[in-house]
Amino acid sequence: METNKIDIGKEGSEIVKSPSGWRIVGREIMRDKVALFSLIFLIAIMIIVYGTSLLLDVREIVKVDLFSIHQPPSEEFLLGTDYGGRDVFGQLIIGTRNSLSIGILVTLMTGAIGIIYGLVAGYFGGTVDNIMMRILDFFQVLPFLMIVIVFVAIVPKYSILTFSLIMTAFLWMGIARLIRSKALQEKELDYVQASKTLGTSNFKIMFTQVLPNLSSLIIVTMTLNLAANIGLESGLSFLGFGFPESTPSLGTLVSYARNPQTLEFRWWVWVPASVLILVLMLSINNVGQALKRATDARQRRG
Amino acid sequence: MSYLEVKDLKVHFPVKGGLFGRTLAHIKAVDGVNFSIEKGKTYGLVGESGSGKTTTGRAIIGLNKITSGQVFFEGQDITNLNKANKDIRRDIQMIFQDPYSSLNPKKRVIDIISEPLRNYEKLTKGEETKRVQELLELVGLNPESILKYPHEFSGGQRQRIGIARAIALKPKLIIADEPVSALDVSVQAQVLNFMKEIQKELGLTYLFISHDLGVIKHMCDQIGIMYKGRYVESGTKEDIFNHPQHIYTKRLVAAIPDMNPRNRQQHLQFRQEVKNEYEQAYNQYFDDEGLAFQLQPVSDTHLVALPEKG
Amino acid sequence: MWKFSIRRIMIMIPQVILLSIIVFMLAKMMPGDALTGLIDPNVDPNTIAEKREELGLNDPWYEQYTRWVAGVFTGDLGQSFHFKMPVSELVWQRIVNSFWLSLLTLVLTYLIAIPLGITSGRYNDSWADRLITGYTYIGFAAPLFIFALVMLWIFGFHLGWFPTGGSVKPGLTPGTFEYVMSKLYHMLLPALSMALITTVSTVQYLRSEIIDTKQKDFILTARAKGASESRVYNRHILRNSLLPIAAFFGYEITGLIGGSIFIENIFGYPGMGQLFLNSILLRDYSVVTSLVLLFGILTILGTLLSDIILSLVDPRIRIK
């Protein structure tokens, strides 16, 4: 879209470049103090988590040490240890990294599938749309959580990628439906008809003409989805159907609270992870809501 | 052979319904239309909304599927334009009615105008910018505004951007679908005169679609009048405005406002007379379904839809 | 209306068939089959092979599938090898518990949502609205399992106001008043925890719906005619905003099923969600597949019901 570097010789300086839509959105976010703070917090968390996890030795952290079981926070263990004598703080860092990674991966994959599926269904409409929507309807009425749990239980060896793929397979429908309904409206507009008469191919119209007009919707939805996906992943890990304990996630730490003793007396094991999940989701939602306001001209604050 | 020839064009839209979404009936948006356009001339297509004039234009350029009939351009069959030869496609362009929705709001002017150029010509960035600036100058806009967004322009200016995009490939035929009806009256004349200028300059042929007889009178050499998907009357500007034969045309022509206030009373009376005639003679001019009859020649250029007996 | 309902039901039929195929395939993908749980591992392999042949486990998949479907229709869901009883019986015991828990949750959801949504929408930008919006903001972000854990921690363990597990106090005779009260008492905290989270979207929906409606022309007209404020709300705004909500319960079923898996796990409540998780851990797959099928059909029926009710309430929604 950006065509900044145009060489037009001497009169070049006279060309007025209007600010792009993103610049306006950026300005709105800067004005929204809560969202700005959330964004800075998120970026800081990412830098800390991805930075320090490079320095931490994962194997050292997840190694069971029977001599230091359930230690309260001390200088050696900042947030104490769990039932296996493992350092909670280290697990928190690694867990946040894993949860964030899966959340981002699932959001990107569901986004890609949803955008393509929704655009194709909405843009072509008619029979194509009809068939595609019936398929989507079917996916949407599946008892998603149960099927994911069954899959996790029967897929023998799973990694971050296979786990994300399983989640993606049952989570792309929401965004697809949204994109499809917007694309249905958009394709009726004359600029799409104009592109057709100008000899632009359907494929190009979909991705270079229609898609930019959906970009704000996509960004907002994907931000909100990211929060939901992190919540879902930690929920599955909490139930014991996420990652094994050797690959801790934030949900794994919370799951230790299913032991009533831990829930009642050893807050350091599960409270920090719970608070972190909550704060992460709140911040991501804040940013998402601010983006929503910024991209919707009617709700703009100033 | 004429420049553009439309033969027995039909565009029918299915009406879906019932339990299984079967096709229950057809809406005959365009129902057997014939006309031809001379090179370098402007052909006006007039009718009320829903008369099928826009569908006719869109069918010619391939935006609506043609149910039956044929379209010839420079002697070549272009009934299925989407599959036709690429060189012909670039020769026919369209100007849209709504200057607001016809320009992609997320694109800068340079991207909008160069869209056809990028599809058909391989230009370097520099050449492309130069062409776009020339085009902007040609349509009377500031060539420095290539990096602006459509929303920064007024309706008339936006329509000029639309025209610049349509003429970027130096087409031969332009289908103008109500190009000024979304604009303020003060801007309409500007855009119309400008369209006439570029017609002379580039040797364009227009198919001009409008519901506004005043605009048609100003622009067109040949005129066709449509009603419910069929032709009611067609002829030269002279034929239609000075010797309307069909009762529908008569009433349309009578409805054109008279600029001279002194004739107001007279004009009103005339309109009333035509209205009475229209109501009395309606059954003579339309069949049982309220559709027009087949066209009958009344002179070399003039065709009117009259019943067989005359 | 009839046309819509019939078409909607017709869409449902292939959905159910597809669901059953998927569940059947899942069952086939699971390690072990109907025999694994039934027999003694020391039996001679040849006898097992014979038995397999006899049970039709070597037949092509579609024959096995039709037999399985026929079984489901007659209520035969197979045997649970862990509990050594027919799956249908096992499921029936648990389904009752889950049903009451879900019902209580739904009731609480609406009991919370309607007053909060109306207050928030009617007096928008007041301090009460800000408070409610703040609650929905946090409730929207908070994952159910964390919220439920915190509730259990505070009200169950710390304050000791509610029981921390089970569905009824042991030793009570079914049917007595105490038994019923004890059941209710055990359900209250889990249901409330779930309702406080699921209600959030309904509150938000109601709020924005009321704010939207109250600026519409027909409301302004009603006011201009001199209708009192309460009449405007009761007769015009609420009628338009509350009816769709009543229809949402069908869509809530999906959420309730997902939520019950977490809630029953956390509160140790013996319902279908807990049965499902335990069966997976115990590799009692005939129970697992039956539950997935059952929940799937429930979801499909719930969506169907809501779609039809919504189409009655709001003709604009009727899909072609």
* Cα B119 to Cα B133: distance, rounded to the nearest angstrom: 18
CB B46 within 8 A of CB B146: no
Q: Do C26 and A141 touch (CB under 8 A)?
A: no
B89 — contact with chain A (CB < 8 Å)? yes
* Cα A261 to Cα A70: distance, rounded to the nearest angstrom: 11
Nearest CA-CA distance, residue C1 and chain B, Å: 12
B154: phi then psi, degrees, rounded to nearest 5: -80, 170
CB A241 within 8 A of CB A234: no
Contacts of A138 in chain C (CB under 8 A): 14-15, 18-19
> Which of C5, C7, C13, C318 to probe the B interface (max B CBs under 10 A)?
C7
Using CB atoms, pick whichever of A1, A15, A213 lies closest to residue B144.
Answer: A15
Using CB atoms, pick whichever of A154, A231, A263 lies closest to residue C29.
Answer: A154
- Read off the pLDDT of residues C58-85 as tens digits, 9 standing for 90 and up: 677 777 788 778 877 777 777 777 777 7
Q: Do B19 and C7 touch (CB under 8 A)?
A: yes
Q: Do A145 and C258 touch (CB under 8 A)?
A: yes
Lowest mean pLDDT among A118-132, A217-231, B208-222, C22-36: C22-36
* Cα C100 to Cα C87: distance, rounded to the nearest angstrom: 20
Residue A179: per-residue pLDDT: 93
> Which of B22, B128, B147, B148 to probe the A interface (max A CBs under 10 A)?
B147
| C→B interface, C-beta within 8 Å | 3, 6-7, 10, 320
* Cα B289 to Cα B277: distance, rounded to the nearest angstrom: 20
> Which of A42, A99, A148, A150 to probe the C interface (max C CBs under 10 A)?
A150
Give the chains touching B; criterion: ≥3 Cβ pairs < 8 Å.
Answer: A, C
* Cα B217 to Cα B68: distance, rounded to the nearest angstrom: 31
- Read off the pLDDT of residues A153-192 as tens digits, 9 standing for 90 and up: 887 777 788 888 888 998 999 999 999 999 998 988 899 9
Nearest CA-CA distance, residue B98 and chain A, Å: 7
Residue A67, pLDDT > 80, answer: no
Q: Do C3 and B16 touch (CB under 8 A)?
A: no
Q: What is the ipTM of this complex?
A: 0.83
C-alpha neighbours within 13 Å on the C-beta side of residue B204: 32
Contacts of A269 in chain C (CB under 8 A): none
Starting at the edge strand found earlier in the chain, the sheet holding B68-73 runs B22-37, B4-17, B68-73, B76-77
Domain boundaries, chain B: 4-228, 243-310
List, in order, residues 6 or more apart from A133 with CB less than 8 Å away.
Answer: A121, A180
Q: Do B119 and A190 touch (CB under 8 A)?
A: no
Helix (H/G/I), strand (E/B), else coil: B1: coil
Q: Do A141 and C18 touch (CB under 8 A)?
A: no
Structure tokens at B91: 């020769």
CB C250 within 8 A of CB C303: yes
The burial of B224, by beta-carbon neighbours within 10 Å (0-12 exposed, 13-18 middle, 19 or more buried), is given as buried
Confidence of residue B310 (pLDDT cuts 50, 70, 90): very low
CB B80 within 8 A of CB B70: no
* Cα A151 to Cα A269: distance, rounded to the nearest angstrom: 29
Nearest CA-CA distance, residue C5 and chain B, Å: 10
A26 — contact with chain C (CB < 8 Å)? no
* Cα A32 to Cα A28: distance, rounded to the nearest angstrom: 6
How far is the CA of C160 from the CAs of A258, C149, C157, C270, in angstroms?
17, 14, 5, 20
> Which of A99, A141, A241 to probe the C interface (max C CBs under 10 A)?
A141
List, in order, residues 6 or more apart from B72 with CB less than 8 Å away.
Answer: B1, B2, B4, B5, B6, B7, B78
**Region B228-232 average pLDDT:** 88
List, in order, residues 6 or more apart from C79 with CB less than 8 Å away.
Answer: C34, C37, C38, C85, C86, C87, C286
Confidence of residue A301 (pLDDT cuts 50, 70, 90): very low
Confidence of residue B17 (pLDDT cuts 50, 70, 90): low
Nearest CA in chain A to B111: A1
Nearest CA in chain C to A144: C258
Domain boundaries, chain C: 89-272
Using CB atoms, pick whichever of A18, A196, A215 lies closest to residue B149.
Answer: A18
* Cα C258 to Cα C252: distance, rounded to the nearest angstrom: 10
In terms of CATH, what superfamily is C89-272?
Answer: MetI-like (1.10.3720.10)
pLDDT digits (tens), chain C, 320 positions = 677 778 788 888 888 888 888 888 887 777 665 555 555 556 666 766 776 666 666 677 777 788 778 877 777 777 777 777 777 788 888 888 888 888 899 899 989 988 998 888 888 888 988 999 889 988 888 888 989 988 888 888 878 787 877 777 777 777 777 778 888 888 889 999 999 998 898 898 888 888 888 777 777 888 788 777 777 777 777 777 777 777 777 777 777 888 888 999 888 888 888 888 888 888 777 788 888 888 888 888 888 888 887 777 766 554 43
Confidence of residue A222 (pLDDT cuts 50, 70, 90): very high
Mode of pairing for the β-strands spanning B173-177 and B92-95: parallel
Nearest CA in chain C to B16: C320
Structure tokens at B138: 């040609």
Q: What angle do CA B114, B120, B126 make, to 5 degrees?
A: 45
Structure tokens at C283: 């590799």
* Cα A202 to Cα A192: distance, rounded to the nearest angstrom: 9
Nearest CA in chain C to B22: C320
Structure tokens at C198: 């699921």
Between A297 and B72, the higher pLDDT residue: B72
Q: Do B101 and A191 touch (CB under 8 A)?
A: yes
Strand blocks (E) in B146-305: 173-177, 205-210, 222-227, 230-236, 295-297, 303-305
CB A32 within 8 A of CB A293: yes
CB B236 within 8 A of CB B301: yes
Mode of pairing for the β-strands spanning B173-177 and B205-210: parallel
H/E element, B8? strand B4-17
How far is the CA of A136 from the CAs of A142, B196, C26, in angstroms?
10, 52, 20
- Read off the pLDDT of residues B137-193 as tens digits, 9 standing for 90 and up: 888 888 888 888 888 898 889 999 999 999 898 898 999 998 888 888 888 888 898
Q: Do A141 and C277 touch (CB under 8 A)?
A: no
List, in order, residues 6 or more apart from A31 with CB less than 8 Å away.
Answer: A301, A302
DSSP secondary structure letters along B27-73: EEEEEEEEEEE-TT-EEEEE--TTSSHHHHHHHHHTSS---EEEEEE
Nearest CA in chain A to B114: A198
Report the first-to-last Cα separation within chain A, whole angstroms: 26
B37: phi then psi, degrees, rounded to nearest 5: -120, 135
Contacts of A18 in chain B (CB under 8 A): 108, 147-149, 152
- Residue % of chain B over a pLDDT of 70: 96
Residue B233, pLDDT > 50, answer: yes
**Region B69-89 average pLDDT:** 80
Q: Do C149 and A153 touch (CB under 8 A)?
A: no
Nearest CA in chain B to C2: B19
Residue A297: per-residue pLDDT: 57
Assign 3-class secondary structure to chain C. Answer: CHHHHHHHHHHHHHHHHHHHHHHHHHHHHCCCCCCCCCCCCCCCHHHHHHHHHHHCCCCCHHHHHHHHHHHHHCCCCCEECCCCEEHHHHHHHHHHHHHHHHHHHHHHHHHHHHHHHHHHHHCCCCHHHHHHHHHHHHHHHCCHHHHHHHHHHHHHHHCCCCCCCCCCCCCCCCCCHHHHHHHHHHHHHHHHHHHHHHHHHHHHHHHHHHHHHHCCHHHHHHHHCCCCHHHHHHHHHHHHHHHHHHHCHHHHHHHHHHHHHHHHHHCCCCCHHHHHHHHHHCCCHHHHHHHHHHHHHHHHHHHHHHHHHHHHHCHHHCCC
Contacts of B21 in chain C (CB under 8 A): 320
* Cα C114 to Cα C134: distance, rounded to the nearest angstrom: 17
What class does CATH assign to B4-228?
A: alpha beta
List the 192-231 stretch of A: residues with Cβ below 8 A of C.
Answer: 227, 231
Confidence of residue A2 (pLDDT cuts 50, 70, 90): very low
Nearest CA-CA distance, residue A138 and chain C, Å: 6
Nearest-10 crossing angle of helices C2-29, A126-141: 60
B97 — contact with chain A (CB < 8 Å)? yes
List, in order, residues 6 or more apart from C224 with CB less than 8 Å away.
Answer: none
Q: Do C3 and B19 touch (CB under 8 A)?
A: yes
A290 — contact with chain C (CB < 8 Å)? no
Confidence of residue A114 (pLDDT cuts 50, 70, 90): very high
- Read off the pLDDT of residues B289-299 as tens digits, 9 standing for 90 and up: 778 888 888 88
pTM > 0.90: no
B64 — contact with chain A (CB < 8 Å)? no
List, in order, residues 6 or more apart from A239 with CB less than 8 Å away.
Answer: A149, A255, C145, C261, C262, C265, C277
List, in order, residues 6 or more apart from B244 with CB less than 8 Å away.
Answer: B233, B250, B252, B253
Contacts of A11 in chain B (CB under 8 A): 144
Structure tokens at A92: 């928190």
Q: Do A137 and C11 touch (CB under 8 A)?
A: yes
Widest distance between CA atoms in chain C: 89
Residue A51, pLDDT > 80, answer: yes
**Region B122-136 average pLDDT:** 90
* Cα C290 to Cα A272: distance, rounded to the nearest angstrom: 38
> Which of C145, C152, C265, C299 to probe the A interface (max A CBs under 10 A)?
C145
